[in-house]
Structure 1
Amino acid sequence: MSDPNGPKIYLLPNLMTAGNLFCGFAATLKILEGALIQAAAAPGRNAIAEAAAADKFYIAIWCILASCIFDALDGRLARLGGHESPFGREFDSLADIVSFGVAPALMVYRIVLHEFPNVGWIIASVYLICGALRLARFNCLAAADSAAANKEFRGFPIPAAAGVIASITLCLLWFDKEQREIGQGKWVLPPLMLFLAWMMFSGFKYPSFKAINWRTTRSMPKFIAIVLVILVTVLYYQWMPAVIFITYLLYGFLRPFLSRKMKEEIEEEVEDDDPLESP
């Protein structure tokens, strides 16, 4: 029998998901603004237009990275309060397809792929479609076995894929900060996008780190290491996010060769004795 009142909508987790969706939409708008600036550039003012468009792309990048933060928070808030729900999972996927599918695909298309109109839109579409299929597959796997889905991801998760694209683009803007536009490094983005599209459907497994929450405890050396990573990321925000996302990407290749003890040490796998985290 269906619930006449409809599904329950828990405030804080879904508020984080709404923030994810808002940032993804804002990123899309900024990319379109940059495209309009480039299209309206008068002859002889291309350098000025490219610099203005780069500023819009710069804001879009940070919006995508902010979406990654909101996406990480919504699930943790839901699990902390024991408020995981089918509604939240579906809402999260709808937000993800905008923030981590449409926005990165549109950004790479506008930066470089539009120069190849017959092929560029296909490459961007492949990434977007693979991202949508990956989200649908994850929801199916989570519905069948929520414990396994919470422990690890099968295939590279789409928020991390968007983080790789956004953080590398941020690096490219930083490398060419004097010209205030993305230089020849932009040609790495199309093959990277195709590679990430394949990785989202690959058999590589990635830890979800969903066991890490507000109640997680750490030893003093690990706590200091985490603080140092945060400080370095804040100080060198131009390239440190790329290091973090690429490290996570490469970890999926190295993971099968690590011993069980080493994997547990890295991924902090512990027995779940918290009643709020029990399925």
Structure 2
Amino acid sequence: MPGRRTTTVEFVRGSVRGGRRRARSWLPSMFTLANMMCGFFAILVAFRGEYRLACALIALSVVFDIADGAVARLVGAVSPFGLQFDSLADLVSFGLAPSLLVFALFSDGRDSLDALGWIACFLWVACAAIRLARFNTTIDPTADKRYFTGLPSPGAAGVVLASVFAFADLMEGRDRLWMLLVVLVPGLLMVSNVRYRSFRSLVSPKSGKPYGLVVTVVVVLVGLATVPTVTCCVVAYSYLVSPLVVPVLTPLGRLVPDRLKEVLS
């Protein structure tokens, strides 16, 4: 009898542990699913003419995309399934959603220029798909994890949503051609060999004193609360041009006092 009771207790404990492991493994996927859901809803509302709401939903997708990776590493649930699921969600949220948002805005006049919108928006989707496929198939354990090769699709989508959020209400007629440039430039940068700083390294610093990150987050939050349009454009376009600007500004860092560097590190 004691042996049978012990076996039953161990079986129950093993089932509980197994249930907890399964729950932990699915937790990151819930964030990935939320990412995809926001991207899908952004497409629906874009074709209803609610462009700013679509931008907000894509911005939420970016938040969920960053969160799912962080949660996966936190609970130790990084898996090949999670990687592929995340890429499919990203294709919806940062491939289809931004391109269809721009096309819904661009084709509002339904004129002879619509064909240009078709080509430009398809190019965006193709570049996003190539970018994600290249990322999945060229993972190098020895590579510098602080950088991505090519503009990350969430960063590219950020440029589109910031531009639409800021200028959608101001464009009429031929002014809408400007939106094609907003699609083409980030789209081509996604499949380029230009190195961009990883979001992971920006939001998860190894330093025990991430004061610089805290100050940056506070400044961005205050900006979003007071001047959201300007803040979105500054953040999105700053990241877009960062590979050109950072090498120029790096030498100027020598002029910053060592004490201030220590505080902000």
Indicate whether 1:205 and 2:202 are aligned.
Answer: no
Q: Which has the larger radius of gyration?
A: 2
- Structure-2 residue corresponding to 1:233: 224
User: Judging changes above 3 Å, is the alpha-carbon distance between structure 1 residues 214 and 74 closer, same or farther for their aligned structure 2 residues?
Assistant: farther
- 2:125 maps to 1:128: yes
Could you tell me whether the CA contact under 8 Å between 2:106 and 2:114 is conserved in 1?
no
The residue number in structure 1 matching 2:104 is 110
Equivalent residue for 1:189? 179
User: Helix, strand or coil for the counterpart of 2:148?
Assistant: strand
CA distances 1:228-261 after superposition (whole Å, capped 9, x unpaired): 2221222222231121011011102234456599
TM-score under structure 1 length normalisation: 0.73
Check if 1:160 corresponds to 2:155.
Answer: yes
C-alpha separation in 2, matches of 1:228 and 1:241? 12
Q: Structure 1 vs Structure 2: percent identity of aligned residues?
A: 32
Distance in 1 (alpha carbons) for counterparts of 2:144 and 2:97:
25
Q: Which has the higher contact order (CA 8 A, sep 6+)?
A: 1
What whole-Å deviation, never above 9, does each CA across 1:155-184 have from its counterpart, x for those lacking one? 1111111111011110114x64xxxxx446
CA contact (8 A) 2:38 2:57 kept: yes
Q: Which has the higher helix share?
A: 2
Structure 2 unaligned segments of length 5 or more: list them: 1-21, 257-265
Distance in 2, matches of 1:159 and 1:75, equals 13
Counterpart CA distance in 2 for 1:214 and 1:257 is 23
Q: What letter matches 2:27 in structure 1?
A: L
Q: Trace 1:22-41 onto structure 2 (pairs within 5 A).
A: 22-32=37-47, 34=48
Structure 1 residue 31, shift from structure 2 partner: 1.8
Query: Tell me, what secondary structure is at the counterpart of 2:228?
Result: coil
1:245 has 2:239 as partner: no
1:44-69 residue CA offsets vs partner (Å, 9 max, x unmatched): xxxxxxxxx2xx12211111111111
Instruction: Output the aligned Cα RMSD.
Output: 2.7
Q: How many positions carry a matched residue from both structures?
A: 228
Supply the distance in 2 between the matched residues of 1:13 and 1:235 (Cα, whole angstroms): 32
Structure 1 residue runs of 5 or longer lacking an equivalent are 1-7, 35-52, 177-181, 266-279
The farther-off stretch of 18-27 and 117-126 is: 117-126
Residue 269 of structure 1 is matched in structure 2 by: none
Q: Which residue of 1 aligns with 2:167?
A: 172
CA displacement 1:202-242 (0-9 Å, x = unmatched)? 12101103133398643546533431222122222223112
Q: Which residue does 2:73 correspond to in 1?
A: 79
Change in 2 beyond 3 A, CA 1:147/1:18: farther
**Alignment partner of 1:20 is 2:35:** yes
| Compared CA separation, residues 217 and 12, structure 1 to 2 (3 A) | farther
User: TM-score normalized by structure 2?
Assistant: 0.76
Structure 2 Cα separation of the partners of residues 221 and 152 of structure 1: 19
**Is the Cα–Cα contact under 8 Å of residues 61 and 167 in structure 1 kept in the other structure?**
yes
> CA separation in 1, counterparts of 2:43 and 2:31?
19
Quote the residue 2:59 is aligned against: 65
1:225/1:121 Cα in 2 relative to 1: closer, same or farther (>3 Å)? closer
Question: For 1:219 and 1:24, how far apart are their aligned partners in 2?
Answer: 31
What letter corresponds to residue 158 of structure 2 in structure 1? G
